[in-house]
Structure 1
Amino acid sequence: MYKLLIADDEQEIRHGLSSYFPWHEIGYEVVQHVENGQKALEYITGHPVDVLLCDVTMPVMTGIELAERLHLEKSPVQVVFLSAHRNFEYAQQALQFGVRNYILKPTKYKSIFDTFTALKESLDSAKASLLQASSPGDCPPDLIAGHEDPVIRKIAAYLHEHFKEASLEGASQIVHMNPTYISKYFKQKTDTNFSDYLNTVRMQKAAELLSSHQFKTYEISDAVGYNNAKNFTRSFKKFYGKSPREYIQS
């Protein structure tokens, strides 16, 4: 399910959109609904959100201002506008800030269904790209991957290909050695701990995916083998000296 945030200053519209449209049937979960762009931004800052459905004209921070802010921050959140007016200037700004679509009020079932079904297909394709980007052929060469010892090369290839779920036990099945022995052997031959090398592979892949600006931190965290996004952020900052957000902005 993709996480959907709804922002509209009219309570009746917020409630109607979040409660009466069958979002789950087309692959979405409404995680929150708020009354202005500022509250939407605050929610996005602290929670995972895939798609934002927001009114163009709201108090405190308009939909246009919110879309511009997300665009400047290179946020991966996909934005769909709601508006009661056909306004060419709004449409131009929407395109400029990467807004995916523009739904007119009063909203019609078919408009929402068609827009969000197409958007889901696009998001699914992006996820497929994430898996493709994680293929071993994309991994940069390193000294360990090109080691003269064939056992080390096999272990390195295994880690580059299966970094998400890789383990000593998994490596032992590849080279037919005892896991404890592999740990000592790897350290002896490379002067690097098995776990440290696996972490390096994961962090390099995470940096590559962050640089693409296509995926959220929690998606990348999961893709490189972390069940907890906070633990991933902590490990990434320890490795690169910057948080994932700081890394993107640098």
Structure 2
Amino acid sequence: MYKLLVIDDEHDTRDTLCNCFPWESVGFTIVGQLGNGAEALHYMEQNPVDVMLCDIKMPEMSGIELTKQLSERKIAVRTVLLSAYREFEYARQAMQYGVKHYMVKPAKYNDIVQVFSELKSELDEAAGVQPGLPADADTHVMPEDPIVAAITAFVDHNYPTATLQQVSELVNMNASYVSAFFKKKTGINFSDYVQKVKMEKAAELLRGSHHKAYEVSELVGYVNAKNFIRSFKQYFGVTPGQYKNDK
């Protein structure tokens, strides 16, 4: 796996990028998440990184200034710049420091796949890896379909509020198609998968904390505790209280 550093001053954007995209499916592993260019420069002076995914507009040190500093210090790292701003001037400034990849926020699933697949090919070629062969001992272990991986990663991270509409926007597909695609690939309905994640998280909370049932209900996304108790009993065969007492 190639090493990816993510830099964005917006915590929610950074968190979504890191946790709701199946990076391993395109050959990358995230080695760090940072909030500004100065932190990133310090990190990369101490730690080798293959690619950085970096916001352009940040406090203390912008993405453009960061790419300039890296270029001047001859720190080799491929760069993908991410910005909500479409002006060509940003891209032009970045290009003079060797940046070839530029994506507009919010980055679409297909755009990320395309850009990082290209980057992986570039890195493989530079490392002398033959097409179709793993770059290291880990890369032959590929996860499930990348779209399914993106959907399940999103649900696993946002299970209290995850909806079909949200994941359809994430992978840039029609909601009805996503529903049918997910069922075909996994053998389980999307709503049932969300329910499964909620119930297993609820069980984990009941086992490892002093939370009461109504508190766990809220934590996993139920407004009505009675609905939670009913769903939990249908899933596990016992009420949350009985489950907690048995553990």
TM-score (norm 1): 0.51
Paired residue type of 2:55: D
Q: How far is 1:4 from its partner?
A: 0.2
Measured against aligned partners, the alpha-carbon deviations of 1:170-228 in whole angstroms (never above 9, x if no partner) come to xxxxxxxxxxxxxxxxxxxxxxxxxxxxxxxxxxxxxxxxxxxxxxxxxxxxxxxxxxx
Q: 4+ runs of 1 displaced by more than 3 Å?
A: none
Question: Matches of 1:3 and 1:63 in 2, distance apart?
Answer: 18
Measured against aligned partners, the alpha-carbon deviations of 1:140-164 in whole angstroms (never above 9, x if no partner) come to xxxxxxxxxxxxxxxxxxxxxxxxx
- Tell me the secondary structure at the aligned position of residue 49 of structure 1: coil
- Tell me the secondary structure at the aligned position of residue 82 of structure 1: strand
RMSD, aligned CA? 1.0
Q: Corresponding residue for 1:114? A: 114
Q: Corresponding residue for 2:166? A: none
Measured against aligned partners, the alpha-carbon deviations of 1:36-64 in whole angstroms (never above 9, x if no partner) come to 00011111111121100000000000000
Q: Corresponding residue for 1:32? A: 32
Contact 2:45–2:75 (Cα < 8 Å) also in 1: no
* Worse overlay, 108-117 or 67-76: 67-76
> Unpaired segments of 5 or more residues in structure 2?
130-247
Question: Matches of 1:75 and 1:100 in 2, distance apart?
Answer: 16
Question: Matches of 2:53 and 2:61 in 1, distance apart?
Answer: 14
1:198-209 equivalences under 5 Å are: none
Matched, 1:89 2:75: no
**Identical positions, percent:** 49
Q: Corresponding residue for 1:70? A: 70
Q: Corresponding residue for 1:55? A: 55
Q: Corresponding residue for 2:3? A: 3
Q: How far is 1:100 from its partner?
A: 2.5
Question: Matches of 2:100 and 2:89 in 1, distance apart?
Answer: 16
Q: How far is 1:76 from its partner?
A: 1.2
- Tell me the secondary structure at the aligned position of residue 17 of structure 1: helix
- Tell me the secondary structure at the aligned position of residue 30 of structure 1: strand
Measured against aligned partners, the alpha-carbon deviations of 1:4-35 in whole angstroms (never above 9, x if no partner) come to 00000000011111111000111000000100
1:93-104 equivalences under 5 Å are: 93-104=93-104
> Unpaired segments of 5 or more residues in structure 1?
130-250
- Tell me the secondary structure at the aligned position of residue 59 of structure 1: coil
Q: Which has the higher contact order (CA 8 A, sep 6+)?
A: 2
Q: Across the two proteins, how many residue pairs are aligned to each other?
A: 129
Paired residue type of 1:58: M
Q: Corresponding residue for 1:201? A: none
Question: Matches of 1:67 and 1:99 in 2, distance apart?
Answer: 8
TM-score (norm 2): 0.51
Larger Rg: 1
Question: Matches of 1:87 and 1:36 in 2, distance apart?
Answer: 21
Question: Matches of 1:73 and 1:43 in 2, distance apart?
Answer: 13
